[in-house]
Structure 1
């Protein structure tokens, strides 16, 4: 996003920068739809960043997270891919530590949660014919 080309790629939804992330292991959840599954209980997400656009060619690929100290180690084998229908989406990025039970499923509200020590990113996609970009390029996703 430091160049005009990088800014255009971001605004078009070809790539979404998730910066200010500490080098660590992360769990990812990708949901699609108006009534997307909630990954975090109310007030559990430490970061919520709205206004992003994603243009899917059929796959959402996550690369680089956890490898910022050695970008040369990024490869097809250490990236994640999610199948997402072709089209345009509004994208919200949520991050935090999700309360889980021992099976890894979200803890039902009202139960005592056992907090996961692995940070989680929830990428929530909502189909939109003409999503408008308003993402904050200065957002730090450190939590």
Structure 2
């Protein structure tokens, strides 16, 4: 049974793990944005993009077609930009709360680290896909 994993390069295993990470991020993002009743249209972007990223990456691991690699690249680039936009919106959201950028607003306001996780996961995924030895 373990012999099946022989021959899988590290890059392929990392793509699987990063795809699973997108599923976990999807659950967390959906819970947070559902809690806020999707007040802003941009809250739908990570809820839709993260499972698409995860499914595309997991499919690419088992079916490495050139067109699918391009699709994964475009999805990851879009998620990277969406993560940057989300970081801006979350930081701005903390600042708009009563008291501005106080510690309590970072604790109860929009989580400023979560869009950064999407950005970082997208960047790491792109690096893994295009890293040349």
TM-score over 0.5 for the alignment?
Answer: no
- Richer in strand (by share): 1
TM bucket normalised to smaller: under 0.3
Select the structure with the greater relative contact order (CA < 8 A; seq sep ≥ 6): 1
What is the TM-score with the length of structure 1 in the denominator? 0.23
What is the TM-score with the length of structure 2 in the denominator? 0.24
**Structure number, greater radius of gyration:** 2
